[in-house]
Amino acid sequence: MADPSSFASPSCCLTRHLYLRCRVDFGARALRGAAAFTARAEREALRCLVLDTKDLQVFKVTVNGQDAKFVFGEKHPFKGTPLEITLPFELRRGQEAIVEISFESSPKSSALQWFSPEQTSGKKHPFLFSQCQATHCRAILPCQDTPAVKLTYYAEVPIPCYLIALVVGALESRKIGPRTLVWAEKELVDKSAYEFAEAEAMLKTAEDLAGPYIWGQYDLLVLPPSFPYGGMENPCLTFVTPTLLAGDRSLSNVIAHEISHSWTGNLVTNKTWEHFWLNEGHTVYLERRIGGRLFGEQFRHFQALGGWRDLQNTINTLGDKNPVTNLIPNLNEVDPDVAYSSVPYEKGFALLFYLEQLLGGPDVFIGFLKAYIQQFAYKSIVTEDWKKFLYSYFKDKVDVLDKVDWNLWFHAPGMPPVKPTYDMTLANACVALSQRWIKAKESDLGSFSSADLKEMSSHQLIEFLALLLLEAPLPVSHVQRMQQVYDFNAINNSEIRFRWLRLCIKSKWEEAIPLALKMATDQGRMKFTRPLFRDLYSFDKCRDLAVKTFLEHRASMHPVTSMLVGKDLKQDQ
């Protein structure tokens, strides 16, 4: 099947190996270098190779050392520009040639974010990081930018090109486990080492659940605050956001998530971005199984229920008829970055959790997951491959599987057709307290006190606020009283702070405006920045201020964040 997000045709000619040499020019904000691909003809009489590029300059192309003609095709608004290379000779099916391309990236590359020394923690050295998922590797170098193609590069790790990553900066490391270093600027490195100390316990648990960890080293690297995601599962070196540094290890589930990608995503990969749920749904499932092993099965169910709330919130925002809320969306002429949401994560997880309950429980289902990883290791697959394997693994339970409404799960927008069963033990306190606030009249506000939260973990506070957000807005008097008795403004845990500030803005409490703007701009994790800016934009009192603040900070934002917040605030250039 063709990948609607790429110009490349791997069914005609496949790139199998990349030898990349490049130089980082901080002055020009460019990467310059040469990419040499080993390309194999997949059909007879091949004379052409098409690669993805985005805002790149190409100076020269050679094939087995001979000069080759090349032209750029028509520029597409988000896919970039196809690079069409004419081979100087015909290749027969199965024959290989070395195609070498001299290139330079643009200062406005959507894959790269550049920092001057004064924008870093250390203030002395410049800093650069890349983020290629979903389709931004083409903004660093010409390539077949589709997860359908896995190639080795000269470190001999077969990866799809969205996992090519680089970081350049003044970094220090601390050893936190037998196969794990944590890297960061020196101002953050000790704090990071404390926060992520559970990495080895998580790795061991993941191996027990999913099979041996095949990548050798597992390092973590803490990026500047503008990094657009919670984490990025680059093999051997996971990139993470500093918003995880809560001081109490309470947000370490993101590390469990990125560790799990070592199996689901990096080892077994979605073939196109339409099947992104295969990467993310399975990874959330594994992440929560790790949490269940480390903190108990009630905790796993509690995290799963929190995911269901996140999905409800996302679908409220996007609309329950929106086709991007399908588990398998059609990405024909749709930018994968615009389609990105919690849907593939949480709707994908809900399907697996529902199947676990249908097919005999967690121990039975993990057997399937392990076998699935073995079956498709090193391959890129689509949902149909997964479903066929599910049916063959559970061949004695076909009657049960036939009761699943696959069409609704895969191809219908909105919430899933079935809600799995959740153990409510840890959630009940959150539900009870949120209901008290939702039903409270002005005269009841005196009945709340700081003792309400005494027994609650930070995970429960997140769930309590998530429940209130689903009911928002609350009267302003309620959020003011909540601040008086709970002092949420003093909490630095990013997940709590984010939901609290959203609740304040949705309830139109003007005192929260500067705090919400500060959180939206102090860090650039899209999960936080986009909803905060959207809520501020919807609040008439601060719409103009939200736009003005965005425009002032736009230049220091990650290119993808800037593009998407620009769309949210109707500031598209």
Question: Could you confirm whether 345 is annotated as catalytic?
Answer: yes
- The one catalytic residue in 195, 258, 287, 356 is 258
Strands 269-270 and 380-381: parallel
Distance from C-alpha of 327 to C-alpha of 542, rounded to nearest angstrom: 35
Buried b (16+ CB within 10 A) or exposed e, 469-482: beebbbeeebbebb
DSSP 383-448: HHHHHHHHHHHTGGGHHHHTTS-HHHHHH--SS-SSPPP---TTTHHHHHHHHHHHH--GGGGGG-
Distance from C-alpha of 473 to C-alpha of 468, rounded to nearest angstrom: 8
Distance from C-alpha of 127 to C-alpha of 115, rounded to nearest angstrom: 5
Other Cβ atoms within 10 Å of 134 Cβ, number: 22
* Alpha-helical segments (H) within 74-167: none
Query: Helices 526-538 and 513-522 meet at what angle, rounded to 10?
Result: 150
- Which pair of structure tokens corresponds to residue 502? 């959203």
Distance from C-alpha of 176 to C-alpha of 198, rounded to nearest angstrom: 8
Q: Which run of H or of E encompasses 518?
A: helix 513-522
Question: Could you confirm whether 213 is annotated as catalytic?
Answer: no
Other Cβ atoms within 10 Å of 416 Cβ, number: 21
Buried b (16+ CB within 10 A) or exposed e, 6-45: bbbbbeebbbebbebebebeeeebbbbbbbbbbbbbeeee
Amino acid, single-letter form, for residue 92: R
* Residue at token pair 């001081």: 247
- Which pair of structure tokens corresponds to residue 423? 């153990």
Tally of CA atoms within 13 A in the half-sphere of 171 that contains its CB: 19
- The one catalytic residue in 218, 285, 345, 537 is 345
Q: CA angle 260-263-266, nearest 5°?
A: 105
- Which pair of structure tokens corresponds to residue 33? 């270098």
Distance from C-alpha of 404 to C-alpha of 502, rounded to nearest angstrom: 36
Amino acid, single-letter form, for residue 64: N
Task: With beta carbons less than 8 A apart as the criterion, state whether 284 and 349 touch.
Answer: yes
Task: With beta carbons less than 8 A apart as the criterion, state whether 456 and 487 touch.
Answer: no
Give the residue among 296, 311, 391 at the shortest CA–CA distance from 346: 311
Active site residues: 258, 345
